Amino acid sequence: MTQDFSLQHIIREPKVKSAKSPVLIMLHGYGSDENDLFSFAGELPDELFIISVKAPYSMQPYGNAWYAIHWDNNDGKFSDDLQAISSRETIKEFIEEVIKKYPVDPENISLLGFSQGSILSYAVALSYPKMIKNVVALSGYVNKGIIKEGYENNDFSRLDFYCSHGSVDQVIPVSWARQTKPFLDELGVKNSYSEFPVGHGVAPQNFFELKDWLKKRI
């Protein structure tokens, strides 16, 4: 099924069928794979066509990444932005393939990303806001260096973000995530931001909140 696509993926067809279903595309975090977020697909609204995608860069001994993370003595930890931009473009291409090959509504596309997948979700949606309707961005942050140049002039009127973060996240500092809301507000993008008393993960109450948010918007 996935050989005709630029990214490997697994799907859950909607339990409530329609000619063109709203689609939710899941983007996992660093070192994970397409099965990770897919594990809660069964808990999401029945009308959604759910697609969970595998990131393009394989890691050793297992897992995948949207881009490499490097460590050095001077800069500490830093992201490979060129790889991230390449992944941003691959995701855009994949969305175009999904629209052509699955019975989905091109006007009702949502992204759900965790960690690195969340960072890519911000980049794709802000670079190509006409393609995306909703974004659920979990435990990530906005990396301005991987958004398409000139994004400030885009029309963001149909975009809506649900952003959340763990207040004791040991992987991505909560201080980075707290910059998201002011940044999106300044661009005039509809958004909500929540924090939960957890580390780098999704608390049950976080899941219930995002599910409710999504249900109202698809």
* Residue ranges covered by each domain of the chain: 2-215
**With pLDDT > 70 as the criterion, what percentage of the chain qualifies?**
95
- pLDDT at residue 4, as a whole number: 83
Quick: pLDDT tens for 74-112.
666 678 999 999 999 999 999 999 999 999 999 999 999
* Confidence (pLDDT) at 199: 97
Which pLDDT belongs to residue 6? 96
Q: Please determine, looking at this structure, whether the domain spanning 2-215 carries the CATH number 1.20.58.410.
A: no
Cβ-contact 106, 168 below 8 angstroms: no
Per-residue pLDDT for 210 more than 70? yes
Q: For all residues of the chain together, what is the average pLDDT?
A: 94
pLDDT digits (tens, 9 = 90+) for 113-166: 999 999 999 999 999 999 999 999 999 999 999 999 999 999 999 999 999 999
Residue 125 backbone dihedrals phi, psi, to 5 degrees = -65, -40
pLDDT at res. 111: 98
Confidence (pLDDT) at 60? 87
DSSP class of residue 11 equals: E
Q: Residue 28: left (phi > 0), alpha (psi -120 to 50), or beta? A: beta
Which residues, including other chains, have CB under 8 Å from residue 53's CB and lie 6 or more apart?
A: 7, 8, 9, 25, 26, 27, 28, 34, 91, 94
Would you say the C-alpha torsion 209, 132, 167, 83 has a positive or negative sign? positive
Look at residue 1 and tell me whether its pLDDT is greater than 60.
no
